[in-house]
Amino acid sequence: MESRLSTDLPTISREYKGSDRNGFVFGWTPQAEVWNGCFAIISVLANLLWHLVGYSLVRDISSLISY
C-alpha cells in the first residue's frame, strides 16, 4: 500500500489569499444571506415567545396611542 503525500491531494476549491479571506464584500453575498436568515429566525422566535407570554405588540402600540 502506497501512502500519498499531502501535497499530492487534488484541489477541492481555490485557495484563499491571506488578505482576501475576511475582506468586506458589499452587497448580497452568501454570508450576508446567512446572517439575514439567522436574525429573521431569532426575531420570529422572540415574537412567538412574546405572544405566548401574553403580550401583544398591536395591543401595546394601540394603548400607547390612546393616551
- Helix ranges restricted to H, the chain: 30-53, 57-66
Higher pLDDT pick, 61 / 1:
61
Eight-class DSSP state of 30: H
Q: Is 8 helix (H, G, I), strand (E, B) or coil?
A: helix
pLDDT of residue 30: 83
CA 30 from chain centre, in angstroms, equals: 9
Against a cut of 0.75, is the pTM above it?
no
Domain parsing of the chain, residue ranges: 39-67
Place of cell 487534488: 10
The string of pLDDT tens digits covering residues 5-46 is 666 656 666 666 666 666 666 778 888 899 999 999 999 999
